[in-house]
Amino acid sequence: MIVLSSSPGKVILFGEHFVVKGRPAIATAINLRTRVTLRPKDSWPSIIRSKPLNALLKIDNNLNATGSKSLIHFVKALELLSEKGFKLKPFEANISGELPPSAGLGSSASSAASFISALSEYLGYHIEKKDLFILTNELEKIIHKNPSGIDSTIVVYGGTILYRKNEGFTRLNLNQSKRFSLLIACTKSKRSTGELVEHVLKLVERHQKVLDHVYDAAEVLVKEALKSLEENNLIKLGELMNINQGLLYAIGVSSLELERMIFEARVSGCLGSKLTGAGGGGCMIAVCDNPKEVMSKLSPFAEKVFIADINAPGTEVKLIK
């Protein structure tokens, strides 16, 4: 028996960081995915290999782990399923996919959702989306300290959503004519989402009166962006991306590498560009009429440049006997 599972990556179109304090955000699943292939193993320890992280973890039948610390959060998945009454069995799991790690594209949530869904299926239970979200978010707490929940939501459910912390999400119905591709460029710098979230929260504590207005502006911006998506007005959408980037710069989560790529995208003809995710490195996104032409302009500044389709499906799992 072999279990195959996959989950999409994500980009936040509008609202990152502001969503942590309860403001709305718009996110979409992209067609770059994490894939998990899980096979039975004759005996313990179980083995987890991650090609994107070039890492390996061994887990014994008492859930003691040895190997890469970058995979240690997967032990939590076994603990949670064991607490729910599942009888654990040894396995070998291989993680692969197109998502670059630590780039703001939801790679950790995507790998967590894929792994949990594959492991649940292997143990004889087809997990529901609601439960998969809860378990994925528990693993995200280990990695990111105070996650908003938006990554766990979008990789599990897919599509395009309006999200507000503690209220959940509303799916946005984008028909084929309203779907578009994004140009995505990744910096060579890696960063910690948890550390950047903490940085912003401390900045807000120090300058509450000033930044309250920035957070208010971010909420109005999301509402305007929703109208642009409904109208399929990519020109307005691009302008709002540029404004959103200004707000993110104001709270200190941009970087010189990101600003170079964002500026180059704009002068090369893109309608709008901004960082996506935590910032401090990672990736930028852009809406362009001619994304393929702009790719070459960004290549000197980026580790990787690619085009991704939005509104991809969420976590999918299948069993091969």
Looking at the annotation, which residues are catalytic? 151
How many whole angstroms separate alpha carbon 2 and alpha carbon 127? 17
Instruction: Give the tokens for residue 151.
Output: 């990554």
CB 276 within 8 A of CB 14: no
Closest CA to 160 of 147, 146, 175: 175
CB-based burial label for 125 (10 Å; 0-12, 13-18, 19+): middle
Half-sphere exposure of 294 toward its Cβ, with a 13 Å CA cutoff?
27
Exposure of 239 in the CB half-sphere (CA atoms within 13 A) = 5
CA of residue 101 relative to chain centroid, distance: 10
Under 8 Å between Cβ of 116 and 132: yes
In whole angstroms, what is the distance from residue 51 CA to residue 116 CA?
A: 17
